[in-house]
Structure 1
Amino acid sequence: MRKSLLVYDGSNALFRAAAEAVTRRTDDLVAVRWDAEPVQAFLEAQFDARPFAFILVEGDFVHVGQETVGRILRRAGVAGPLVDRLKRTYAVGGAPLGRLVHGRTVADLDGTFPLSAGAAAHLAALRQVQEIPVREAGAGEP
């Protein structure tokens, strides 16, 4: 079974905890940090850029922004009307929240895109990730 990948901002403890909560319930979803070099190579191959965005790779498709929010919430069993409201909230509040919490603007990129062949080549190693780092390594730590 090919694992799906959730690309998230790992620099924030709240988002690391949320990613862990989402992936702990399933064996087919792996969370990977946006700032990891293999993720950056994947983004460059897929988008010819490195957009700062919430991304889900499922099968041969790459979901970005609101679409990722909706798919992750549905995987968690959240009811449809609430999913729709949260997607709208993300659409309106994603950019300001990105600047406030992440210190950068979230890419103005939403929707579902076919996975490019070049980007697919970067996924095998990313799908092997086994755990989410819950804190950043400090001095003297690996």
Structure 2
Amino acid sequence: MKKSLLVYDGSNPLFRAVVEAATHRSDEIVAVRWDAEPVQAFLEAQFDARPFAFILVEGDSVHVGEETVSQVLRRTCLADPLVDGLKRTYAVGGVPFGRLIHGRTVAELDGTFPLSADAAAHLEDLRRAREIPVEDPSAEEP
């Protein structure tokens, strides 16, 4: 079985810790940072652009935005009303939250899309990633 990939903003220690908490017990999902060059190549092949978005690649589908939130939360066995509420919260707050916390605008791209053959070619190396550093490895020490 091919592992699912969760593309997230790894520039913030809080987000790295949350994604680590959500994925560390799963052998089925690998978290990869949005700003990693292989992820950027995948995005370019899939969307002909590099949208800043929360993305889950699962089988032959690419879930983006609200759909990613829904898919990831359903994997944690949360009750459907709670998942639906958090999905709506993301829909309303994602863009302003992105500007405030991420310092960039989240792409207005939501839904599930078929995985393109060109994009699929970029996934094998990404599926081998196994750890999420909670501390930013590129951060300089004082």
Shift of 1:127: 0.1
**1:35-93 CA distances to partner (integer Å, 9 max, x unpaired)?**
00000000000000000000000000000000000010000111100111111110000
Does residue 32 of structure 1 match 2:32? yes
Aligned structure 1 segments of 4 or more residues deviating by more than 3 angstroms: none
Which SS does the other structure have where 1:107 is aligned?
coil
Shift of 1:16: 0.3
1:83 and 1:128, CA in 2 relative to 1: closer, same or farther beyond 3 A? same
Whole-Å separation in 2 of the counterparts to 1:25 and 1:125: 21
Whole-Å separation in 1 of the counterparts to 2:18 and 2:121: 28
Q: Percentage identity across aligned positions? A: 75
Structure 2 residue identity aligned to 1:59 = G
Aligned residue number for residue 89 of structure 1:
89
| Maintained 8 Å contact 2:73/2:83 | yes
Aligned residue number for residue 48 of structure 1:
48
Aligned residue number for residue 5 of structure 1:
5
Structure 2 gaps, min length 5: none
Which SS does the other structure have where 2:2 is aligned?
coil
Structure 1 gaps, min length 5: none
Whole-Å separation in 1 of the counterparts to 2:89 and 2:43: 25
Whole-Å separation in 1 of the counterparts to 2:133 and 2:126: 14
User: How many residues of Structure 1 are paired with residues of Structure 2 in the alignment?
Assistant: 140
Whole-Å separation in 2 of the counterparts to 1:33 and 1:53: 11
Structure 1 residue identity aligned to 2:71 = R
| Maintained 8 Å contact 2:13/2:136 | no
Map 1:1-142 to 2 at 5 A: 1-137=1-137, 138-139=139-140
Structure 2 residue identity aligned to 1:9 = D
Whole-Å separation in 2 of the counterparts to 1:31 and 1:139: 23
Whole-Å separation in 1 of the counterparts to 2:39 and 2:116: 14
Whole-Å separation in 2 of the counterparts to 1:93 and 1:111: 17
Instruction: Return the TM-score normalized by structure 2.
Output: 0.96
Whole-Å separation in 2 of the counterparts to 1:76 and 1:15: 17
